[in-house]
């Protein structure tokens, strides 16, 4: 009588192939779902990628700025903009160092032609401009000026292919940055320079 172990029955090659195929398909499906989830906010168009605004968050600008205004010394203005503009971000950063550090209140909007961000601060102009460039240590040179209802705005290059407009109104430096058309820059500039600073709540 032989003591050698009895070999276990082997699965047929056909059943192994079918099982491998099912596992491979499942893995591919998971990868596809992950890619679709990551890219659902964008779509392709012949003129370049566009943003699916339904996938972008919306910010209540009045509530956000009213809350921020109570916590900073900056007289914060809330521009009144067309209904088609959609606010999708707001935050507060700091520019400068040491005793020269100052808060910057920022709000971003999706506009009919792109994206714009408004920054409000009492910090140094060079620090504010640098905060919108790819190299914060650099000081880009102005490329021109533009008058908006009697207020002079200075134009600077910003990060990537964006542009910044800088002006001082009521002792506050205002910087508009983004990739929208000049008409949208002008709309935001006029709205913020004519807005009244939000009241401080007791």
* Interval 144-200: pLDDT, tens: 999 999 999 999 999 988 999 999 999 999 999 999 999 999 999 999 999 999 998
Pick the more confident residue, 74 or 37. 74
Question: In terms of DSSP H, where are the helices of 58-175?
Answer: 61-69, 125-130
Query: Tokens 């990739």 — which residue?
Result: 179
The residues of the chain that CATH labels 3.40.1000 are 58-193
Cα-Cα-Cα-Cα torsion 106, 103, 175, 188, nearest 10 degrees, comes to: 40
Over residues 29-57, mean pLDDT: 52
Q: For residue 114, which of 86, 142, 91 has the smallest C-alpha distance?
A: 86
| Cα 128 from chain centre | 17
Q: For residue 44, what pLDDT is reported?
A: 41
CA distance 84 to 147: 25
Report which secondary-structure segment, H or E, holds 146.
Answer: strand 144-148
Pairing of the two strands 42-43 and 50-51: antiparallel
pTM: 0.72
Q: For residue 34, what pLDDT is reported?
A: 57
- Residue 69, C-beta contacts closer than 8 angstroms, at least 6 positions apart: 76, 105, 197, 198, 199, 200
CATH topology of domain 58-193: Protein Transport Mog1p; Chain A (3.40.1000)
Q: For residue 3, what pLDDT is reported?
A: 57
Whether 37 has a pLDDT exceeding 90, the answer reads: no
Q: For residue 106, which of 121, 96, 91 has the smallest C-alpha distance?
A: 91
**Residue 15: pLDDT band by 50, 70, 90 thresholds?**
low
Whether 27 has a pLDDT exceeding 50, the answer reads: yes
């Amino acid at each position: 009588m032989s003591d050698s172990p009895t070999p276990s029955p082997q699965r047929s090659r056909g059943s192994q192939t079918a099982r491998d195929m099912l596992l491979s398909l499942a893995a591919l499906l998971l990868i596809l779902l992950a890619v679709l989830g990551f890219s659902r906010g964008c779509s392709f168009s012949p003129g370049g990628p566009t943003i699916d605004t339904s996938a972008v968050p919306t910010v209540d600008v009045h509530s956000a700025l009213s809350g921020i205004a109570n916590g900073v010394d900056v007289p914060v203005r809330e521009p009144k903009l067309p209904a088609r503009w959609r606010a999708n971000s707001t935050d507060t950063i700091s520019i400068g160092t040491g005793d020269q550090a100052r808060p910057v209140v920022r709000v971003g909007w999706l506009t009919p032609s792109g994206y714009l961000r408004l920054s409000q601060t009492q910090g140094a102009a060079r620090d504010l401009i640098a905060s919108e460039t790819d190299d914060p240590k650099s000081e880009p040179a102005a490329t021109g000026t533009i008058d908006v209802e009697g207020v002079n705005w200075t134009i600077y290059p910003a990060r990537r292919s964006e542009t910044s407009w800088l002006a001082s109104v009521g002792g506050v430096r205002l910087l508009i940055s983004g990739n929208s058309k000049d008409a949208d820059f002008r709309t935001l500039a006029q709205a913020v320079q004519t807005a009244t600073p939000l009241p401080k709540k007791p």
